[in-house]
């Protein structure tokens, strides 16, 4: 007898999507356990903890975590919870400290997690406290191109397998240069939306000509280019690809990526073009000619909650998301370019960004519609391009025939089902890696 799956939220044939997953408090609690308790999640960047004893405070789902670089230079991610009664042991956003003292009763942990000092062991504990069993709770940690990932589940597959062929695309932005990247941020704000809606939206190319029409008009004037027509935006040779629940879009073949890069203006465009040309031989050595010249990562999400690069949709309740926004630059890019990119990023995707403000209002309404028992009877319609995605000769992953598609979104919700229906990682499938990772760039840079 085939066991019935607890969750069947998306119909593969019709794309009908059950709206309860955006509002139901019990489902939300289960997500914290089965998704955020298991998946690899971005928590920081090596550039945020450059020196020994540096630490950076972050989150995995709702759980506060401390990213540390210990005295020997090793990275750790710990649950920010004192093993005595559960107080937080770190209350700062970042800093440099060899150890962390809990301010409730003074238990003190080293930055490699060991419980180092407990006040009054003879008087309070009759000299019988098993201190070596009371280290901070540690997650499994790995890095991809300087971005630090962690998972609570020590049975999880390697980060390399988890990212799988998605890395083939991610490399074209995050793994271009020998010198690696730096992350600046985060800017943090709250959004009255379910965390899945901004993730889903990363592959929604369909909304761009309508939702961002006024932003596009302003930008076209600023950049000094004609505004793209609706048809130009809908018919594109860009790709829409899914791997392991990660959703990728790429820029058109032959693109330098400068056409859409936030921060490029008519005044600095030449500088960006020169940088592109100067660094191309290095990029080709690292990524191979095809990826260096014909593939450029566009909007994308990493399962579960990575949104457009190193940006996080952190769950704070079914209808509340804390957004963390980092900007990632090539470390060796000229300062003037970093500043232009930073300004461009803030003008587009960030608390002050034109695009972000356009988007949030849609996301809020989509989430709120799911609250109504009347509205909930009618499922979301995620049918665009059903049956029109598959393998491609040049691009790894499940590739949609067209750039305008909801194939990635269906795969994201399917991945959600796989995590929510699984007893353990043994039940969660991982797609085999098949991409040809030409060039010298590897997982660690
Ligand atoms: S809760 Fe931390 S020392 Fe008691
Ligand atoms: Fe948008």
CB of residue 285 inside a 6 A radius of ligand 1: no
Ligand 1 pocket check: which of 78, 80, 83, 85 to mutate, most ligand atoms within 8 Å of Cβ? 85
**How far is the centre of ligand 1, averaged over its atoms, from the C-alpha of 339 (Å)?**
44
The answer to whether 438 and 291 have CB atoms below 8 angstroms apart is yes
Residue 1 has pLDDT above 50, yes or no: no
Query: What fold, for 164-427?
Result: Naphthalene 1,2-dioxygenase Alpha Subunit; Chain A, domain 1 (3.90.380)
Torsion of CA 378, 383, 387, 391, to 10 degrees: -130
Q: What pLDDT was estimated at residue 350?
A: 84
CATH 2.102.10.10 domain span(s) along the chain: 41-141
Closest Cα to atom 1, ligand 1: which residue?
Answer: 85
Is there an atom of ligand 1 within 6 Å of 105 CB?
Answer: yes
Burial grade of 226 (CB within 10 A; 0-12, 13-18, 19 or more): exposed
User: Closest ligand 1 atom, CA of 102?
Assistant: 2
pLDDT for residue 257: 66
Intervals of CATH 3.90.380.10 along the chain: 164-427
- Rounded Cα–Cα distance for residues 189 and 44 (Å): 17
Tell me which of 80, 105, 136 to substitute to probe ligand 1's pocket, judged by most ligand atoms within 8 Å of the beta carbon. Answer: 105
The chain-wide mean pLDDT, for the chain, equals 94
Asked if residues 159 and 142 have their Cβ atoms less than 8 Å apart, the reply is yes
Q: Report in angstroms the alpha-carbon separations of 366 from 11, 198, 214, 314, 377.
A: 19, 11, 21, 18, 14
- The residues near 22 (Cβ < 8 Å, ≥ 6 apart) are 194, 196, 197, 318, 319, 366, 367, 370
Q: Is 84 in the pocket of ligand 1 (CB under 6 A)?
A: yes
Query: 337 CB under 6 A from ligand 1?
Result: no
Phi and psi at 169, nearest 5°, equal -85, -45
Across 362-366, average pLDDT: 93
What pLDDT score does 284 carry?
97
- How remote is the CA of residue 118 from the centroid of ligand 1, in Å? 9
Contact 143, 444 (CB under 8 A): yes
Q: Give the number of other Cβ atoms within 10 Å of residue 126's Cβ.
A: 8
Mean pLDDT score, 332-348: 91
Q: pLDDT at residue 433 above 80?
A: yes
- pLDDT tens for 58-99 read 999 999 999 999 999 999 999 999 999 999 999 999 999 999
Q: Residue 168's CB: how many other CB atoms inside 10 A?
A: 26
CA 440–ligand 2 middle distance (angstroms): 34
Q: Report how far residue 99's alpha carbon sits from residue 179's, in angstroms, rounded to the nearest whole number.
A: 31
Tens of pLDDT, residue by residue over 153-198, are 999 999 999 999 999 999 999 999 999 999 999 999 999 999 999 9
Does any ligand 1 atom lie closer than 6 A to the CB of residue 104?
Answer: yes
pLDDT, residue 87, reads 98
Kindly report the CATH class assigned to 41-141: mainly beta
Query: Is residue 378 lining ligand 1, measured as CB closer than 6 Å?
Result: no
Q: Which residue in this structure is represented by tokens 């790709």?
A: 239
**Model confidence over 282-323: pLDDT tens digits?**
999 999 999 999 898 999 999 999 999 999 999 999 999 999
What share of the chain has pLDDT > 70, as a percent?
Answer: 98
Residues 261 and 272: beta-carbon distance below 8 Å: yes
Q: Is the pLDDT of residue 2 over 60?
A: no
Q: Does the pLDDT of residue 378 top 90, yes or no? A: yes
Stated pTM of the model: 0.96
- pLDDT tens across 236-282, in order? 878 899 999 999 998 766 666 676 678 888 888 899 999 999 999 99
Output the pLDDT for position 139: 98
């Amino acid at each position: 007898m085939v066991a019935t799956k607890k969750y069947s939220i998306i119909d593969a044939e019709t794309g009908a999507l059950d709206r309860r997953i955006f509002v139901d408090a019990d489902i939300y609690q289960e997500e914290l356990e089965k998704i955020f308790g298991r998946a690899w999640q971005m928590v920081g960047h090596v550039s945020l903890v450059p020196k020994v004893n540096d630490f950076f405070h972050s989150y995995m789902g709702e759980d506060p975590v401390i990213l540390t670089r210990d005295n020997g230079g090793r990275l750790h991610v710990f649950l920010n919870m004192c093993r005595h009664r559960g107080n937080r042991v770190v209350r700062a956003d970042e800093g440099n400290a060899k150890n962390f003292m809990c301010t409730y009763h003074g238990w003190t942990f080293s930055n490699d997690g060991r419980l180092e000092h407990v006040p009054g062991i003879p008087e309070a504990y009759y000299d019988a406290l098993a201190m070596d069993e009371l280290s901070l709770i540690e997650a499994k940690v790995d890095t991809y191109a300087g971005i630090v990932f962690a998972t609570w589940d020590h049975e999880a597959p390697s980060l390399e397998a988890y990212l799988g062929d998605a890395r083939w695309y991610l490399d074209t932005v995050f793994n271009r240069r020998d010198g690696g990247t730096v992350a600046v941020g985060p800017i943090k704000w709250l959004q009255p939306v379910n965390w899945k809606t901004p993730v889903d939206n990363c592959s929604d190319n369909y909304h761009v000509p309508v939702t961002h029409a006024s932003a596009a008009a302003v930008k076209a004037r600023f950049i000094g280019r004609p505004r793209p027509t609706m048809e130009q935006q809908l018919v594109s040779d860009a790709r829409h690809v899914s791997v392991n629940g990660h959703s990728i879009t790429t820029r058109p073949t032959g693109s330098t990526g400068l056409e859409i890069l936030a921060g490029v203006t008519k005044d600095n465009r030449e500088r960006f073009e020169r940088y592109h040309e100067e660094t191309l031989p290095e990029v080709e050595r690292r990524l191979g000619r095809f990826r260096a010249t014909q593939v450029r990562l566009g909007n994308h999400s990493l399962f579960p909650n990575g949104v457009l690069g190193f940006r996080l949709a952190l769950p704070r309740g079914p209808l509340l998301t804390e957004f963390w926004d980092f900007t990632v630059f090539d470390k060796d890019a000229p300062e003037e370019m970093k500043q232009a990119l930073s300004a461009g990023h803030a003008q587009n995707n960030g608390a002050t960004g034109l695009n972000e403000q356009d988007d949030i209002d849609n996301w809020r309404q989509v989430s709120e519609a799911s609250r109504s028992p009347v509205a909930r009877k009618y499922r979301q319609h995620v049918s665009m391009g059903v049956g029109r995605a598959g393998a491609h000769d040049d691009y790894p992953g499940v590739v949609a025939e067209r750039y305008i598609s909801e194939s990635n979104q269906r795969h994201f919700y399917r991945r959600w089902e796989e995590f929510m229906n699984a007893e353990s990682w043994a039940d969660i499938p991982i797609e085999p890696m098949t991409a040809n990772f030409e060039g010298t760039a590897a997982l660690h840079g």
